[in-house]
């Protein structure tokens, strides 16, 4: 996986957290730099840690399933991407309160980074430097979430579903690209 695809993956993984960040920006009456940094920190940290966990859980078994690794990557990214796409069509989006305390943010950060855990599993098959990849994912997520809080505080929830749809499409297409590369090239 090259850096361009890694950056696209990071952006796609950040879309759930971006959508939640927009909601946080909407719900908090008065945002400031502290709010931006707290939201960005939690989401960036967990989006960075989860691929590492997925990678190391899988790394020891990669030789056994190297023959079908491209299918595993495609299925994982495809399921996550399709799920993100389908969620954009649900009518009942959860309302998010204005709390940014530890308990609230840890739950939101874990919930929005489960897909990053699955992507970490796929990274084990791609012989990727997991530390640099996770740092890139975390940094991009941090920046996107800071922007999300700002957008939420300025513009409302017009972009929430579009961000999630975009992320889902990108993840699915990256999985498809990896499958096609392994099957035909």
Distance in angstroms (rounded) separating the CA atoms of residues 117 and 16: 14
More confident residue, 185 or 39: 39
Q: Is 34 exposed, middle or buried (0-12, 13-18, 19+ CB in 10 A)?
A: exposed
pLDDT of residue 46: 97
Tokens representing residue 93 in the block: 């989006």
d(CA 24, CA 31): 9
Q: How many residues does the chain have?
A: 185
Mean pLDDT, the chain, integer: 84
pLDDT at 75: 85
Task: Burial-class residue 118 by CB neighbours within 10 Å (0-12, 13-18, 19+).
Answer: buried
In the prediction, which pLDDT does 65 show?
Answer: 66
Cβ 109 vs Cβ 42: under 8 Å: yes
50 confidence band (pLDDT: 50, 70, 90)? very high
Cα(34)–Cα(26) distance, integer angstroms: 16
* Residue 127: closest CA among 14, 9, 2: 2
Compare 58 and 34 and report the one with higher pLDDT: 34
> Mean pLDDT across the stretch 20-37?
86
């Amino acid at each position: 996986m090259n850096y361009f695809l890694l950056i696209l993956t990071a952006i796609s993984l950040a879309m759930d957290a971006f959508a939640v960040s927009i909601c946080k920006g909407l719900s908090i009456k008065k945002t400031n730099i502290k709010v931006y940094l707290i939201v960005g920190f939690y989401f960036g940290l967990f989006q960075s840690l989860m691929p590492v966990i997925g990678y190391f859980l899988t790394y020891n078994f990669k030789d056994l399933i190297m023959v079908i690794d491209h299918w595993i990557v495609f299925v994982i990214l495809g399921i996550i991407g399709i799920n993100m796409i389908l969620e954009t069509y649900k009518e009942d989006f959860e309302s998010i309160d204005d709390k940014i305390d530890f308990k609230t943010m840890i739950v939101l950060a874990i919930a929005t980074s489960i897909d990053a855990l699955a992507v970490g599993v796929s990274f084990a098959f791609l012989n990727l430097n997991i530390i640099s990849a996770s740092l890139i994912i975390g940094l991009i997520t941090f920046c996107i979430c800071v922007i999300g809080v700002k957008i939420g505080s300025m513009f409302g929830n017009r972009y929430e579903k579009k961000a999630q749809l975009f992320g889902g499409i990108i993840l699915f297409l990256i999985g498809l690209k990896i499958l096609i590369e392994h099957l035909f090239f």
